[in-house]
Amino acid sequence: MKRLVTICAISIMFLLAVGQRTFAQLALPIRLGVMGGIHFANQTFSPGLYPEENPKTFRVGSMFGGMAELGIKGIWSLHSEPRFIQKGTKFQKIITSKGFVPTGMTDASFRLNYFEIPFLLKAKFEDYSFKPFLLAGPTFSFINSAKVEVPGTHVLGRSGTSTVDIENDVNSFEVGLEIGAGVEYELSSRVDVLLSARYSQGLNDIYSNPIIPSAKSYGFFITTGVFFDITGSVPVVAASTPEPTKNNFDTDGDGLLDNDEIKNYRTNPYNADSDGDGLTDGDEVLKYKTNPLNADTDDDGLSDGKEVIRYKTDPLDPDTDHGSVKDGPEVYRGTDPLFAGDDVPKKEELKLEVGKSIVLDGIVFQTGKAEITAASAAILEKAFNTLYQNPDIAVEIHGHTDNVGKRNYNMKLSLARAGAVKEYLVQRGIDPRRITSIGFGFDRQIATNDTPEGRQRNRRIEFYRVK
């Protein structure tokens, strides 16, 4: 049975993938995705050998699998989720001796794992940012494994272990009903996330062993998943002038003849907006040159209709302002997709004026050395941002010391420190031709050297803007 279940699962996934092109040619939207969730499973038992044995608590299990959805018309679609799901229940079990003599009660559990395929009719309401939906339909479940766990010495006539495989005591096939509701949120024109809550009810008896009371499964579960719209993109070709025939009509009034919709564009002649992007098929083909089967022709995260009508962006160019960020991300973060200047926000800079110098407060060196300490990181980052974001700026880096020590020593030390700052910036990618390092020693004092505070002010690095 496990091999059969695995083969069924692989076959279904294969058929979904192969069928994508067929559905695309029919101009029917199709989405594939992955899902997972938590299942709170239980069973309703009829009186068995011991009436005291009743389900007590839900068994909490997991579920995971794939999703496939085929749009039918309007709000309606067919939804399926080939999935692996854990079912069962926890209950009170009478412990018996080998002679079936009751000796006490203990907690026990049925652990049933299924491969399950629901076929659900789904109604999704598109006029909301968060799109609510309802779904209902039958489920078909195939047993993958079945065990009963009893912390006793005698389980269903078998002894020697507290966990017993009861797959032969379980019907291999189960039919049920499932209903639920949820909400979808559109991350982009081709990607949606969903969250749903469901209830399922089994319709046939789970167990085939007469020792186990008749039971039907039921449960509540919460699922989440991601959908990917894989509706095939069909290249737009110029409309031909058809021969006059009785089929020369435009049934949906979208500006394209039915013959052209069917033969040339693969659009739906009964739906003026085949891809649901807010533009008629005729406008997409004849006016905007977008793809009437792809709601987001340039794949920038905005539907063609939103680009043309709301944001005035180019539906054929993912980055209308050519500022390096796509139109969709710009809209979602609140910047203007028609203005390139706000695509990449500038980092904090120094305020430099041509012919003037500023002190880089915060650059710290080890005493008597030209090694920059970690405490200098913040001000050096500003200096780097200034040069990186303004490639036309050229600077001199001036090194200064206090008057402690000989003049030659301080000249060399100040030059080495200015050179260390230049080397840091060059290593980060700044063109060395834009930077000149100069050491002044203690020739240009800005404070007295008679106090520690004054000497500290004199030990400094300055940026002087040349151009």
- Residue among 236, 286, 230 at smallest CA distance from 266: 236
Q: What is the pLDDT of residue 324?
A: 86
Q: What is the pLDDT of residue 342?
A: 80
Q: What is the pLDDT of residue 239?
A: 42
175 with 302, same domain? no
Sign of the CA dihedral running 187, 188, 191, 197: positive
Q: Where are the beta strands (DSSP E) in 16-75?
A: 30-45, 55-57, 59-73
Dump the DSSP string for 415-437: HHHHHHHHHHHHHTT--GGGEEE
Alpha carbon 31 to its chain centroid, in Å, reads: 15
Q: What is the pLDDT of residue 152?
A: 55
Q: What is the pLDDT of residue 129?
A: 62
CA-atom Rg of the chain in angstroms: 36
- Residue among 396, 393, 382, 392 at smallest CA distance from 436: 396
Say how far apart CA 267 and CA 28 lie, in whole Å: 9
Query: Does 349 reside within a domain?
Result: no
Say how far apart CA 199 and CA 181 lie, in whole Å: 9
Side-chain-side CA neighbours of residue 416 (13 Å): 14
Q: Which two tokens stand for residue 195?
A: 């969250």
With contact defined as beta carbons under 8 Å apart, do 331 and 311 qualify? yes
Query: Does 460 reside within a domain?
Result: yes
Q: How many helices, marked H, and strands, marked E, lie in the chain?
A: 8, 17
User: Sorting pLDDT into bands at 50, 70 and 90, what band is 160?
Assistant: very low
Least reliable range by pLDDT among 157-161, 180-184, 247-251, 396-400 = 157-161
Helix 407-427 / helix 377-389 crossing angle, nearest 10 deg: 60
User: Sorting pLDDT into bands at 50, 70 and 90, what band is 51?
Assistant: very low
Measured from the Cβ of residue 288, the count of other Cβ atoms closer than 10 Å reads: 19
Q: What is the pLDDT of residue 374?
A: 84
Q: Which residues pair with 131 in a beta bridge?
A: 184
Query: Does 9 reside within a domain?
Result: yes
278 with 201, same domain? no
Q: Where are the beta strands (DSSP E) in 345-392?
A: 357-359
265 with 331, same domain? yes
The 3-state secondary structure of 305-335, one letter per residue? HHHHHHHCCCCCCCCCCCCCCCHHHHHHHCC
Q: What is the pLDDT of residue 372?
A: 86
Query: Does 238 reside within a domain?
Result: no
Query: Does 142 reside within a domain?
Result: yes
CATH number (domain holding residue 452): 3.30.1330.60
- Domain-terminating residue out of 342, 367, 399: 342
Say how far apart CA 126 and CA 390 lie, in whole Å: 47
Say how far apart CA 403 and CA 219 lie, in whole Å: 84
291 with 394, same domain? no
Phi, psi of 38, rounded to the nearest 5 degrees:
-115, 135
Length of the chain: 467
Q: Which residues pair with 148 in a beta bridge?
A: 110, 164
158 with 57, same domain? yes
Q: Which residues pair with 200 in a beta bridge?
A: 178, 219
Least reliable range by pLDDT among 22-26, 45-49, 224-228 = 22-26
- Residue among 24, 15, 13, 12 at smallest CA distance from 229: 24
Secondary structure letter of residue 214 according to DSSP:
P
pLDDT tens-digit map of 288-324: 999 999 999 999 989 999 999 888 999 999 999 998 8
Query: Does 251 reside within a domain?
Result: no
Number of domains in the chain: 3
- Domain-terminating residue out of 229, 246, 280: 229
211 pLDDT exceeds 80? no
CA triplet 96, 102, 104: central angle to 5 degrees? 90
Residue ranges making up the domain that contains 303: 258-342
97 with 125, same domain? yes
Report the pLDDT averaged over residues 70-95: 81
148 with 297, same domain? no
Q: What is the pLDDT of residue 419?
A: 92
Q: What is the pLDDT of residue 451?
A: 92
79 with 205, same domain? yes
371 with 333, same domain? no
What 14-20 contacts at long range (C-beta under 8 Å, 24+ apart), as own/partner pairs, is 16/66, 16/68, 20/230, 20/232
Dump the DSSP string for 282-307: HIIIIII---TT-SSTT-SSS-HHII
Least reliable range by pLDDT among 45-49, 143-147, 346-350 = 45-49
- Residue among 174, 165, 13 at smallest CA distance from 85: 174
317 with 378, same domain? no
Query: Does 203 reside within a domain?
Result: yes
CATH number (domain holding residue 141): 2.40.160.20
Q: Which residues contact 141 (CB under 8 A, 6 or more apart)?
A: 85, 114, 115, 116, 117, 173, 174, 175, 176, 202
User: Sorting pLDDT into bands at 50, 70 and 90, what band is 53?
Assistant: low
Longest Cα separation, the chain: 107
166 with 79, same domain? yes
With contact defined as beta carbons under 8 Å apart, do 106 and 92 qualify? yes
Query: Does 234 reside within a domain?
Result: no
86 with 179, same domain? yes
- Domain-terminating residue out of 229, 245, 276: 229
